């Protein structure tokens, strides 16, 4: 480098030196102890077998040196790398209708990209855009960006960025989920508890985006007719007592009071009979004191399989019994209390 200005133009040629293109102007290299200068050149994607480089003095234009022979420049592999959305693992979700920024790095590709998404419903790629500028909107000259509106196509999906004219050059994201959109609804009407007549059960249901106030109805004929249990329930459950019937056609319906289209019905349930065929007195007798000659109502329940009942009373603690009533069950009996003062009268219903 002795005898030069120590500032140089670097050029390259793809036609054996017939014409030249500038690599850098006025380069001032650092000279090693052995007198060697160097420059790191990013080789252009210009395919040729007759490439050369040369060094020219900046001030007098003298050619300091050039390649002794032609060399080849081979085609670079096209490159895409999607950086967003693309975590280092599969997962994540994007809500229907939201805008998702898509970003990618690109090199040695055409001037336009195509962008596709994987459709869960059709199990195929669907074109988002068939031609969009490749490296536009990024923070570097090799970054491209695009705003993708998530379609109403729930399931597992992914994105693909590819050269618009060369489908062999592309990159894809990891899988992500498009959740099903939430719409106003009443759903999953169900009953829990033992379903025997006169038993206590709880009706429950699910709901999204409703008014929050519900009408609850009950049917004993599988939905042919309905009886309203409440019209202003503000929670998603309804504790209640089953009717005194045996049926295999119990059904419930829950409806949003502000929008009758938001409604759901339960499965059909059965109400079974009481498990014990013995009538049960509904009154706790312990500690009672009744006045002789007064009328007292004895209430009881019986399964439908019982066709006859006998009501008896005892004046000696159950050692012996006297019959009050023997006949068809009516659910109650009006008894005139006899004129006895024994302090331990017992009146079970049998």
Torsion, Cα 278 283 287 291, to 10 degrees, reads: -110
- Using DSSP, state whether 55 is helix, strand or coil: strand
136 is a domain residue:
yes
87 is a domain residue:
yes
Q: What is the pLDDT of residues 299-312, one digit of tens each?
A: 877 777 777 888 88
User: What are the tokens at 7?
Assistant: 């500032």
For residue 288, pLDDT beyond 70: no
Tell me the residue range of the domain where 18 lies: 8-73
For residue 350, pLDDT beyond 80: no
User: Could you tell me the CATH number of the domain that includes residue 264?
Assistant: 2.60.40.10
User: Could you tell me the CATH number of the domain that includes residue 170?
Assistant: 2.60.40.1930
Q: Indicate the residue among 250, 271, 292 that finishes a domain.
A: 271
For residue 232, pLDDT beyond 60: yes
- CA separation for the pair 146, 134 (Å, rounded): 10
346 is a domain residue:
no
Mean pLDDT, residues 93-103 taken together = 93
- CA separation for the pair 107, 42 (Å, rounded): 12
The vertex-195 CA angle with 266 and 242, nearest 5°, equals 80
Nearest CA-CA partner of 169 in 75, 81, 43, 44: 81
Q: What is the pLDDT of residues 233-281, one digit of tens each?
A: 999 999 999 998 999 999 999 999 999 999 999 999 999 987 655 555 5
Residue percentage of the chain with pLDDT more than 90: 62
* Whole-number CA gyration radius for the chain: 45
Residue percentage of the chain with pLDDT more than 70: 90
Q: Indicate the residue among 117, 147, 178 that finishes a domain.
A: 178
What pLDDT shows up at residue 347?
47
For the whole model, what pTM was predicted?
A: 0.50
Contact 39, 7 (CB under 8 A): no
265 and 211 co-located in one domain = yes
- Using DSSP, state whether 265 is helix, strand or coil: strand
Q: How many domains does the chain have?
A: 4
96 is a domain residue:
yes
């Amino acid at each position: 480098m002795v005898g030069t200005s120590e500032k140089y133009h670097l050029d390259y040629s793809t036609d054996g030196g017939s014409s030249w293109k500038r690599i850098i102007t006025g380069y001032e290299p650092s000279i090693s102890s052995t007198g060697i200068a160097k420059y790191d050149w990013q080789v252009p994607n210009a395919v040729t077998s007759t490439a050369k480089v040369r060094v020219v003095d900046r001030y007098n234009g003298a050619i300091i040196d050039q390649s002794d022979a032609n060399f080849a420049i081979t085609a670079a592999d096209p490159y895409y790398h999607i950086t967003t959305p693309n975590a280092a693992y599969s997962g994540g979700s994007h809500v229907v209708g939201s805008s998702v920024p898509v970003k990618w790095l690109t090199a040695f590709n055409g001037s336009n990209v195509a962008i596709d998404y994987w459709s869960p419903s059709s199990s195929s790629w669907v074109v988002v855009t068939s031609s969009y500028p490749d490296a536009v909107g990024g923070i570097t000259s090799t970054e491209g960006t695009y705003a993708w509106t998530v379609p109403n196509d729930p399931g597992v999906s992914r994105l693909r960025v590819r050269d618009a004219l060369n489908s062999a050059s592309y990159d894809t994201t990891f899988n992500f989920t498009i959740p099903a959109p939430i719409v106003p609804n009443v759903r999953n009407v169900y009953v829990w508890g033992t379903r025997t007549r006169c038993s206590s059960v709880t009706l429950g249901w699910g709901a999204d985006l409703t008014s929050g106030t519900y009408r609850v109805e009950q049917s004993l004929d599988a939905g042919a007719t309905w009886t309203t249990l409440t019209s202003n329930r503000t929670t998603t459950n309804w504790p209640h007592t089953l009717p005194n019937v045996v049926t295999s056609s119990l059904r419930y319906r829950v409806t949003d009071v502000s929008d009758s289209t938001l409604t759901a019905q339960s499965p059909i349930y059965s109400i079974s009979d009481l498990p014990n065929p013995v009538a049960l007195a509904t009154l706790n007798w312990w500690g009672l004191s009744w006045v002789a000659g007064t009328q007292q109502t004895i209430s009881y329940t019986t399964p439908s399989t019982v066709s006859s009942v006998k009501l008896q009373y005892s004046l000696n603690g159950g050692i012996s019994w006297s019959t009050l009533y023997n006949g068809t069950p009516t659910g109650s009996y009006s008894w005139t209390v006899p004129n006895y003062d024994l302090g331990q009268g017992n009146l079970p219903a049998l």
